[in-house]
Amino acid sequence: MIDCLRGLLRPVFSAPGAAALVALALTAGAAAQTVPASTPPAAPAATVPVSSMSSRVLACTACHGKEGRATPDGYFPRIAGKPAGYLANQLLNFRDGRRSYPQMTYLIEHLTDDYLREMAEHFAALDLPYPPPPAPQAPAAVLEQGRKLVQGGDGARNIPACVACHGAAMTGVTPSIPGLLGLPRDYLNSQLGAWKTGQRRAHLPDCMADIARQLTPDDVSAVSAWLAAQPVAAGGKPARTLPAAMPARCGGVAEVPVAAAAAR
Ligand code: HEC
Ligand code: HEC
């Protein structure tokens, strides 16, 4: 199964097996109806060209859901509509071992930076609706603790407000800060846990690792319960800027100013 998916991602014209697979995958679509098998690849495209991005990324939608819009009640994270720089950073992180999910790494380990960036841009450009959130999975007091941490942080414990970087609407900031909404609770728990243990790493300085280490297991549980239960406002589009400088410097995020005290 994974080998089939990996075939989709090879440069298609040098891999006839992959072309056949893509053709197979497309037969269900109206696009497949007009083109005989002998049509040269460069023919004017009445169909999706075999090498096109939408055929390549069939390998991804197997797990990430149709068009990358995974539902909020499984484990797979949605990728549609997330900031392009963030998605590209993650693909590099999986390929280069800073994040670990062996099946995904296997799919992309042979791909170049440019190819990964093109896929990131493809998914970032998708503007697709979000489903309503699942019902809250924690008691009101826990949800309130989560809301407080996300919106206000906890100065006494050196935890900055999550919204200070992820944006007031929590939909992230272009091009490199992801939103926090529309994600499964299990996925959120797992990511914060992975940062605590060093299994997930970002480019240095890894601000999220520092923040995750300040969170207790109860904090993580409260934050994930509250976040997972929030509806996604305004189509989930990432903001263009933050209203104030970020409270800490984060690797891979070059575009947003950092508060003077944290910039050193
Ligand atoms: C076998 C299932 C599977 C396939 C196929 C797959 N992924 Fe993933 N992907 C995952 C899982 C699971 C995660 C979360 C892993 C973790 O726990 O960190 C993930 C995470 C990601 C992330 C990070 C999302 C975020 O919010 O940080 C991106 C980006 C991504 N995948 C892109 C892709 C692309 C592009 C493809 C196709 C080339 C692909 N994936 C194929 C399972 C898959
Ligand atoms: C100083 C800025 C900053 C603050 C404050 C911050 N984050 Fe982040 N966060 C980031 C950046 C940057 C990334 C992307 C890291 C990467 O490239 O892997 C990120 C990524 C994440 C992710 C991964 C999302 C995904 O799709 O996989 C989660 C979850 C997250 N942050 C939760 C939180 C929570 C919860 C808080 C508050 C307790 C918080 N963040 C506070 C900057 C910040």
3-state secondary structure of 173: strand
The per-residue pLDDT for 6 is 81
- The count of residues in the chain is 264
Domains of the chain by start residue, with CATH: 2-124 (1.10.760.10), 140-263 (1.10.760.10)
Q: Which residues pair with 239 in a beta bridge?
A: 173
Q: Are 212 and 199 in contact (CB under 8 A)?
A: no
Any idea which ligand is nearest the CA of 105? 1
Amino acid at 93: N
The per-residue pLDDT for 7 is 76
State the Cα–Cα distance between residues 109 and 209, nearest whole angstrom.
Answer: 24
State the Cα–Cα distance between residues 229 and 47, nearest whole angstrom.
Answer: 40
Mutate to test the pocket of ligand 1, among 56, 66, 75, 101 (most ligand atoms within 8 A of CB): 101
Virtual torsion, Cα 4, 7, 13, 16, nearest 10 deg: -40
Tokens 């935890």, residue located: 159
Mutate to test the pocket of ligand 2, among 64, 104, 165 (most ligand atoms within 8 A of CB): 165
> Which tokens sit at 21?
């697979």
Pocket flag, ligand 2, residue 202 (CB < 6 Å): yes
**pLDDT digit string (tens) for the chain, length 264 residues:** 677 778 777 654 333 334 334 333 333 333 333 334 444 444 444 444 545 888 889 999 989 998 998 887 789 999 999 999 999 999 999 999 999 999 999 999 999 999 999 999 999 999 999 999 999 999 999 999 999 999 999 999 999 999 999 999 999 999 999 999 999 999 999 999 999 999 999 999 999 999 999 999 999 999 999 999 999 987 899 999 998 999 999 998 987 788 877 755
Using a 6 Å CB cutoff, which residues line ligand 1? 5, 9, 57, 59-60, 62-64, 75-77, 79, 87, 90-91, 99, 101, 103-104, 107-108, 119, 178, 190
State the Cα–Cα distance between residues 183 and 190, nearest whole angstrom.
Answer: 11
CA atoms within 13 A on the CB side of 220: 19
Phi, psi dihedral angles at 82 (to 5 degrees): -80, 155
The per-residue pLDDT for 51 is 59
Dist. CA 5 → ligand 2 center (Å): 30
Q: Are 79 and 65 in contact (CB under 8 A)?
A: no
Report the nearest-CA residue for atom 40 of ligand 1: 60
Query: CA 128, 173, 246: angle at the middle one, nearest 5?
Result: 160
State the Cα–Cα distance between residues 3 and 247, nearest whole angstrom.
Answer: 43
